[in-house]
Structure 1
Amino acid sequence: MAQARKIIVVILVVFVLYTIITSPVRAAQLVQVGFEGISSAAKAVGQFMSSLVN
């Protein structure tokens, strides 16, 4: 099981590196979308917690 996990991680890292090397603009867009999603989720959690306090 541990070796399968290592193989999957290596394949994922190789894929990410390949994507960054072949299309850096697209990779940057994907990272930006990911961070925007995390940011909006954090804001939503903050609003939810604020509404619980009030």
Structure 2
Amino acid sequence: MAQAKKIALYMLIVFVLYTIIKTPARAADLVQIGFEGISDAAKSVGEFMGELIK
């Protein structure tokens, strides 16, 4: 099982590198979308916590 996880990790790394090299603009868009999602989630948690202490 550990060997399968290692192989899957290597395949994921190769895929990410291939995507970055082949289409850097698309890779940048995906990273931006990811960070926007994280930012929105953090804002939502902050608003929720703020409402709890009111």
Q: TM-score, normalised by structure 1?
A: 0.98
Structure 1, unpaired ranges of 5+: none
Q: Which residue of 2 aligns with 1:34?
A: 34
Q: What SS does the corresponding residue of 1:15 show, helix, strand or coil?
A: helix
> How many percent of aligned residue pairs carry the same amino acid?
67
Q: Which residue of 2 aligns with 1:44?
A: 44
Structure 2, unpaired ranges of 5+: none
The one-letter amino acid of 1:48's match is F
Question: 1:14 offset after TM fit, Å?
Answer: 0.2
Q: CA RMSD in A?
A: 0.3
Alignment partners' CA distance in 1, 2:39 and 2:19? 24
C-alpha deviations, 1:1-54, integer Å up to 9, x for none? Answer: 111000000000000000000000000000000000000000000000000011
Extract structure 1 runs of 4+ deviating beyond 2 A. none
